Structures are given as structure tokens and as C-alpha cells.
């Protein structure tokens, strides 16, 4: 298990966010994050809402993994098991300060 403190600036207070990356793969280009979801999703609109909700989580995972392993995260994927659906998540996240602010408001 790894732990990582994320702060937006060297003199900023660290925000502690707990999470577990379900699967982290190493490729020649960098790291790939897979996050498995077992949500019951009744329709496409709800699926899109869930993707939007979980995007922040994967972006934070990408920041932490890149910091811990000193390798770029090149891809992050939400794996909706019940729907057999893969959703690629943008791993070039907004600035860390914006992510941490969104996480503390969630």
C-alpha cells in the first residue's frame, strides 16, 4: 500500500484523500489505471452522470500514482462491470489546486 500527500503548492496545506486504485498497469509509455464499478445504471443518462462523478476520483488517482511511481499516467478507464462498458477518463487533469478544491467540496 502506498500513501501520497497532494498539495497545490510547496507551502500549501496538504489535503489527505483516501482511495484504492483497483488496478494499475505498467506499459512502455507509462501507467494505466483501471477502476471497476458495480453500480446499477438504469439508462445512458445515468451512466454519463456516474462517469462525470468518478472522473475527479480517477484524476486524483492519476496525480497520486504519477507522484508515487515517478511515471506518467497515460490512460485511466472506468470499467462498469454490470453494463460491460469502458469509459476513458481524461488524465491530463485540471491544475491540482482545482482538483483538491473539487474533492473537498464533494
pLDDT score of 8 more than 60: no
* Chain mean pLDDT for the chain: 83
Q: Over 60: is that where the pLDDT of 103 sits?
A: yes
Alpha-helical segments (H) within 1-106: 44-69, 96-105
Pick the residue with more confidence: 16 or 90? 90
By C-alpha distance, which of 76, 74, 82 is closest to 56?
A: 76
Q: How confident is the model at residue 91 (pLDDT cuts 50, 70, 90)?
A: confident
Q: How many helices (H) and strands (E) does the chain have?
A: 2, 4
* Residue appearing with cell numbers 501507467: 31
Please tell me the predicted confidence (pLDDT) of residue 46: 95
Domains and CATH numbers, the chain: 23-105 (3.90.320.10)
58: Cβ contacts below 8 Å, ≥ 6 apart? 33, 35, 76, 78, 89, 91
Q: Give the predicted TM-score (pTM) of the model.
A: 0.78
Amino acid at each position: 500500500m502506498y500513501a501520497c500527500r497532494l498539495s497545490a503548492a510547496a507551502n500549501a496545506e496538504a489535503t489527505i484523500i483516501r482511495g484504492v486504485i483497483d488496478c494499475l498497469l505498467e506499459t512502455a509509455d507509462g501507467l494505466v489505471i483501471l477502476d471497476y464499478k458495480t453500480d446499477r445504471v438504469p439508462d445512458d443518462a445515468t451512466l454519463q452522470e456516474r462517469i462525470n462523478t468518478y472522473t475527479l476520483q480517477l484524476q486524483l488517482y492519476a496525480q497520486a500514482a504519477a507522484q508515487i511511481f515517478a511515471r506518467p499516467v497515460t490512460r485511466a478507464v472506468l470499467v462498469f462491470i454490470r453494463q460491460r462498458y469502458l469509459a476513458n477518463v481524461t488524465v491530463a487533469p485540471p491544475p491540482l489546486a482545482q482538483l483538491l478544491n473539487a474533492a473537498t467540496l464533494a
